[in-house]
Amino acid sequence: MQPSAAVTAPKENHAADAQLGWQGSTVNSVTAAYPAVDIGFVGVTGYLTVGACCGAASDSHVNDRVTAWSGSGILFTSDASFHPTRLGYDASDAALLANL
């Protein structure tokens, strides 16, 4: 992976944007402390374009809330909620491959 320019936090004030800024800052800190480490930040914003609220579930890159009923009648929220779908993981892979 080629060294990347410093990553700055996006100007938008959304939780996801804040997380991207945090991740980019972490990568910048690691590369500053360990220059021999070949690491870089790969943003996926341009690749994960269909969120849980936009479009049919079969086309989404991110799961909506995923639930299941337990045997005792309790509704559980799955750990898969608000995480990438198969299409989302494929889009993330495309982002990584484009940045190698």
Q: Which pLDDT belongs to residue 34?
A: 94
Q: Which pLDDT belongs to residue 56?
A: 67
Euclidean distance between CA atoms 27 and 19, whole angstroms? 12
Q: Which pLDDT belongs to residue 75?
A: 92
Q: Is the dihedral of CA 41, 88, 82, 75 positive or negative?
A: negative
Query: 77: which strand partners?
Result: 67
Q: Which pLDDT belongs to residue 9?
A: 44
pLDDT in tens, 50-89: 887 775 678 888 888 888 888 888 999 888 888 888 999 9
pLDDT in tens, 15-26: 666 766 788 888
